[in-house]
Structure formats: C-alpha cells, structure tokens
Amino acid sequence: MRHFTIVGGGQAGLPLAIGLIKAGHKVRLVQNRTAADLTNGKVLSSQCVFGTARAEERKLGLDLWDKEAPAITGMRIAVAAPDGSGNKAFGFVGNLAAPAQSVDQRVKFPRFMEMFAELGGEIEIAEAGIPELERYASDSDLVIVAAGKGAVSQLFARDAERSPYDKPMRALSLVYTKGTRPYDQTCVTATLIPGAGELFMIPALTTSGPCEILFFEAGPGGPLDAFEPSMDAEAQLAKIKALIRQFVSWEYERIADAAPTDANAGLVGRFPPTIRKGVGTLPSGKPVLGLADAVILNDPIVGQGSNNAMKAATIYLDAIVQRGNGAFDPAWMNATFETAFSRVEASTTWSNMILMPPPPHVVDLLARASGRQALADKVAQGFDEPATIVPLFADPALAAAA
C-alpha cells in the first residue's frame, strides 16, 4: 500500500482518489469546500461529459445518474447570419455514437466525496498552500495537485510555447434554467454568432432535477460581453434572454419562459487558457505533480475540460498502478504528464482554434455538414474525441475532401 495526497476534489481529483483507494492504496483528499458548501454554493461549470469519458467514469463505478440526467444524443450546431440580424444562416444536427450527459458539479462532487469517504478515504477540508504541500510531500509517496483554477496551481510554471493567449479570450456567462421548451431530440445546441461569440444550450441534471443551461461565450468588449459577477441569477437570465432575442432570434420563443433553477444558478467569469509544466517544485526541492485544469486549462468553448480531466485522471491512475513500488521521481512525473497532455492535446488545439474567427474552409465544412448526415455525425463525434475532427478544422484540403 502506498500513500497519496490529492489536492482538489473536482472532476479529476475525485475519480483519481476513488480509483487509487479501490486499487488498495491510502489516499488523503484535500478539498477547500465541504460537500455542503458545494451543494449550496454557486454553479461551477456546464460539464457536458461525452461517451469516452463517461465510459471511463463507468469503469470506476461513477456513472450514477443514467436514469435522472437527460441523455444527450446529438449536437445541434447553427451559425447565425453574419449581418447581425439574428436570423439563422444554416444549421444541422449530428448524432453522437453514445449519449453525453451533464450532471451539475454541485450534485456530482458531493456524491463522489461521500463515496470516497465510504471507501475509507481521508478528507481534509483545507485551503492548501505551499506550507501544506510541503507537509503532504513529506508524508506521502506522491502529491498530486488537481486544484483547477485555484491559486495553488500557479506553483506550476506557465508553458509559453503551449499557451498562445495571455489574456481571457471569452467572457463567460451561464444560468441553469427551468421552463425552456425541449426539442424533439435532446442535444447540446451550439450557435456561432459571427463577430460576437457563441451560445451553448445544454440539457443537464441539477439539484432539483432536469434543467437547461443557457451559456454565452462572449468576445471580450463585444455586444455579448454584458455581464458582471455581481449580477443575481434573475438579472443575468433577463440579459441572456434579451441577447438571444437579438442575436439568435429563432431560439427565443423556446427559452422565453425560462427561470433560474435556484438563487445560485448563475456564473460569470473569464480566464486566460493556460498550459503549465506538469511538475512543480516546492521550496524544499520536493516535486509535486499537476493534473487536469491545474496544468491544462482550456477555454470551455468546445466543452472539453471535464472530459480532459477524466481522461487525464485515467492515465494517471493507470501509470501509478503500473509503477508498482517504483519511485515517483520527477522523470516519471513528467512522462506521466506528457502522456496525459498528448491524450488531450487535440482538444487544446481545437479550443484555441475556435477562439479565433473561423477561416472560410471551416464555415464551408459546417455548411456542407448541414446537407450531409455522415459529415454532421462526424462533426458531432469530434466533441467526444477532438483528434478525429481537428485535422479537418486545421487543413483546408482535408476539409474540402471530407
């Protein structure tokens, strides 16, 4: 039995903690919020998890909401007319090979914390900083930092070569809502609004049951960048509805009667997408290993962070189990991080690409998908495994041949 400390109980840290304990190890999970804080706090994400990452959750016994959560069977993609009229230029529905699912992290993380404790895991409620990491590093075989956007992640140096942007590329605004009218097919609806940003509408499961998340990604300084973190959910939703009416008018009637699911249903924020080095060094010289958003933080524009977190956690779990009694030295840590980074690198490339205005071959690719189901399905399936779609977005010749 080896002893692990995981700092941060989110979409990566919790599955890894549960996987390690199931593999027979001693695990301490350090979390800066109690389960009650999470349940009663603000929404954190839109967290749509696609088939591949869901299969990895299932292997660990973490696919717990199959009956309650809406089964998302496709991606409904639309492009608004570039003249700002609010009319639709074109759109299509691509089918997913396996259903995706979005379970509010306020539901998911507390349940995973409970499971971890039931399995005999130790939960320390603390805001871990450098002194705490030093303590964990001196009594654990390996310390993994999975603290997401938490300040402690700055221990890991920014990798400038892998981080093309040094400022936020989108202003994010989402509200969990009740009262929208469902489409016949349950899809994530993604609408590109040329020159302004994107609108995502995601069927999900929240603390009070099924809901739909309305989520704007706004170009900074543009017309959709109209939200303040101080806004309450009602005011935020009123603004979201007004912007949908103006820029995505064909969706307005469907969402006109939406109301926030609860007082904490709204989230406003922005952050620069940042890739960091996978290994951090404490003042004592001891190394710690970064995981998921702590070191691979993408803008949520193509909804990959939760998927990447699960894929990276699976790679770390397998690598740790395979290591047996070997040392968790910096060379092993770096190799493990690089394996995880190459697993999710296509999603980073894709996210960073979509943050820029789409080149003509991408607009043409999407327009052709609106008349060809096989191409529509291929684009949809790209959200599950971005490596299957990135070449078409990157290369005009491949896009033309698709």
Ligand X SMILES: Cc1cc2nc3c(=O)[nH]c(=O)nc-3n(C[C@H](O)[C@H](O)[C@H](O)COP(=O)(O)OP(=O)(O)OC[C@H]3O[C@@H](n4cnc5c(N)ncnc54)[C@H](O)[C@@H]3O)c2cc1C
Question: Does residue 351 touch ligand X according to CB under 6 A?
Answer: no
Question: Does residue 45 touch ligand X according to CB under 6 A?
Answer: yes
Cβ 272 vs Cβ 190: under 8 Å: no
Q: What span, in angstroms and rounded, lies between the C-alpha atoms of 15 and 203?
A: 23
Cβ 192 vs Cβ 198: under 8 Å: yes
Cβ 372 to ligand X shortest distance, Å: 26
Query: What is the number of the residue whose Cβ is closest to ligand X?
Result: 10
By CB under 6 A, the residues from 173 to 212 that bind ligand X are: 174
Query: What is the amino acid identity at position 336?
Result: T
Three-state secondary-structure class, residue 276: strand
User: Of residues 237, 309, 354, 379, which one binds ligand X by CB under 6 A?
Assistant: 309
Q: Both tokens of residue 341?
A: 């980074």
User: Of residues 292, 363, 375, 390, which one binds ligand X by CB under 6 A?
Assistant: 292
Applying CB under 6 A, which part among 276-284, 290-298, 323-331, 332-340 lies near ligand X?
Answer: 290-298
- Burial class from Cβ neighbours inside 10 Å (0-12, 13-18, 19+) for residue 117 reads middle
Q: What span, in angstroms and rounded, lies between the C-alpha atoms of 296 and 325?
A: 28
Question: Does residue 237 touch ligand X according to CB under 6 A?
Answer: no
Question: Does residue 128 touch ligand X according to CB under 6 A?
Answer: yes
User: Of residues 10, 74, 110, 197, which one binds ligand X by CB under 6 A?
Assistant: 10
Pairing mode of beta strands 142-145, 259-260: unpaired
User: Of residues 17, 25, 31, 279, which one binds ligand X by CB under 6 A?
Assistant: 31
Question: Does residue 219 touch ligand X according to CB under 6 A?
Answer: no
Question: Does residue 146 touch ligand X according to CB under 6 A?
Answer: yes
- Burial class from Cβ neighbours inside 10 Å (0-12, 13-18, 19+) for residue 151 reads exposed
Question: Does residue 288 touch ligand X according to CB under 6 A?
Answer: no
Question: Does residue 304 touch ligand X according to CB under 6 A?
Answer: yes
Q: Which is nearer to ligand X, 43 or 255 (CB)?
A: 43
Q: Which is nearer to ligand X, 351 or 370 (CB)?
A: 351
Helix%, strand%, coil% for the chain, nearest 5: 40, 25, 35
Which ranges in 248-291 belong to alpha helices (H)? 252-255
Q: Which residues bind ligand X (CB under 6 A)?
A: 7-13, 30-33, 45-48, 127-128, 146-148, 150, 152, 172, 174, 267, 292-294, 300, 303-307, 309
